[in-house]
Chain A
Amino acid sequence: MVPLKRYAFSGTVVVGVLVTGALAGCGTRQLAHGESASSPRNSAVVKISGGTIFAPAPLGARPTLTAQQAWAMYTKVNTSYRTAAIPDNVSVQLGLLTLPVGPIGAGGSETYLAHNELVYGYSWHSCPVFTAPVSTIPPNPCVEWNFLNADTGRQVVQTWQMNR
């Protein structure tokens, strides 16, 4: 069994370090009960899949919602969750999400679904879903991410971390 890594929430921002083997979320919640708006920040760049990047938030970032508040708002929409509390098996980090769409803007410019959007990234152990058949399961840490806008609680995307 591959050993699990825990995030060290020391507040140090390490920009540009690729964590391709990061196993975030396969462990207990990182937030304490009654956490303040200063939520643990993502400390490294995480490559999700297909160009989606979850990067550290600036030190001065002040989200409107706490991670718990954003999750509670989300569970009002996604009622598959029985309670508004963040599940114990879910880790959460504050960061910047960039989700490119493709070069279909004016003059072939890149367009985005999210571009350095301040989000909470909630992660947990879950193996990926392949709606297109694959001959071999690509290597991946079986970590699923749900990204919620840190100011509104709106879900941006929920997907799996892939090693590329």
Chain B
Amino acid sequence: MRALRVAVALAALMTSVLAVSWPAPAAMASDPQCPSPPPPHDGVGWSWTPDSGNYAYGVRAPIKLRTDGLLCILNGSDTEGAFSAVWIGIVKQSGGFTDIVQIGFIHDRNAQGVSEWCRFWFSPSQTTAQDYNCGDADGTQVYFKIETSSGLQPYYVISDCGTGGDFTNCTTMSGNTPAWNADAVQVASEADYDCVIRMMGQGSNRVWYGNSSWAVSIKDLNGYSKNRNWVAGSPRCSSDYTGDNAGGGLLRTWDSRNTS
């Protein structure tokens, strides 16, 4: 069994905090204080690594948004925004986790410091998350995919295929990351400020990756298949960050602290 990649991908190295004083943004009264310095990222998810000679050419899945969870209140000296995100992605494998392309939903703060939920994508050239389409309603299912383009130099093409129920009407968000020789697929719910932040989803209303019509499917040399051997990662916040594999490419995550 290949080594788990989710924990590596989700574990950020300790950062050096710049001694810059900023006013803290307005925040919900119930949000906890963010720890300082910020701890590594954490999350719950799954990884699939192709066998030798095979590649991860793509991944696609509808993700069902849950507009819940809690962020934390930044200190005046914090330099990293608080967020949680649910996504599908392809990671670079060589030399351990070094890069990723991803797309999904993100929970962060708007200009007034209030929680908002947006779609987002990320590619290495961007450095930060790229939010868009902020304002989807709870329960919205968006069909996301990442595929490798054809040609002498293949690129990872990150696409949003909307809410129409399939992957036929897609908008390309990014296509400038050269495909890696060794890659793997990941599906995850992630947060920074480790465990202080409540991720999206609750036990009775989970974040879904895949549905009864379109399971999470991975494209390799043989094409797309939902029948993949997912390897689950172990979050540090194991008492609260929860996920389960319902089988057949249906994956779910939630935070046990969220209630209606």
Evaluate contact between A133 and B122: CB separation under 8 angstroms: no
Q: How far is the CB of B23 from chain A (nearest CB, A)?
A: 7
Main secondary structure of the interface of B (DSSP, over half): loop
Chain A neighbourhood of B40, CB < 8 A: 133
Evaluate contact between B128 and A49: CB separation under 8 angstroms: yes
Q: Does B100 contact A (CB under 8 A)?
A: yes
Chain A neighbourhood of B171, CB < 8 A: 113
Evaluate contact between A160 and B15: CB separation under 8 angstroms: no
Evaluate contact between B134 and A131: CB separation under 8 angstroms: no
Evaluate contact between A102 and B10: CB separation under 8 angstroms: no
Closest A residue to B23 using CB positions: A125
Evaluate contact between B175 and A90: CB separation under 8 angstroms: no
Partner of B175, one of A89, A111, A160: A111
Residue with the greatest number of chain A CB neighbours at <10 A, chosen from B82, B112, B114, B155: B112
Query: Among the listed stretches B50-58, B73-81, B221-229, B247-255, which one makes contact with chain A, having 4 or more residues with CB under 8 Å of it?
Result: B73-81
Number of interface residues of A (CB under 8 A): 49
Evaluate contact between B129 and A104: CB separation under 8 angstroms: no
State the CA gap A102–B127 with chains docked (Å): 16
Q: How far is the CB of B170 from chain A (nearest CB, A)?
A: 12
Evaluate contact between A89 and B111: CB separation under 8 angstroms: yes
Partner of A80, one of B16, B110, B149, B176: B110
**Known contacts A81-B112, A125-B23; A130 and B128 CB within 8 A of each other:** yes
Evaluate contact between A129 and B81: CB separation under 8 angstroms: yes
Evaluate contact between A144 and B111: CB separation under 8 angstroms: yes
Contact-residue bracket for chain B: 35 or more
Q: Does A120 contact B (CB under 8 A)?
A: no
Scan B163-183; emit 1 where CB is below 8 A from any A CB, else 0.
Answer: 000000001111111000000
Listed A/B pairs (28) with beta-carbon separation below 8 Å: A50-B126, A77-B134, A79-B135, A80-B112, A80-B117, A80-B134, A80-B135, A102-B174, A102-B176, A103-B155, A111-B172, A127-B80, A128-B81, A128-B128, A128-B129, A129-B80, A129-B81, A129-B128, A130-B127, A131-B122, A133-B13, A134-B12, A136-B15, A136-B16, A138-B127, A158-B132, A160-B128, A162-B128
Residues of B within 8 A of A (CB): 9-13, 15-18, 20-23, 25, 40-41, 74, 78-83, 85, 87, 97, 99-100, 102, 106, 108-112, 114-118, 120, 122-135, 149, 151, 153, 155, 157, 171-177, 190, 192
Residues of A within 8 A of B (CB): 1-2, 49-51, 77-82, 87, 89-90, 100-104, 108, 111, 113, 122, 124-138, 142, 144, 146, 155-160, 162, 164
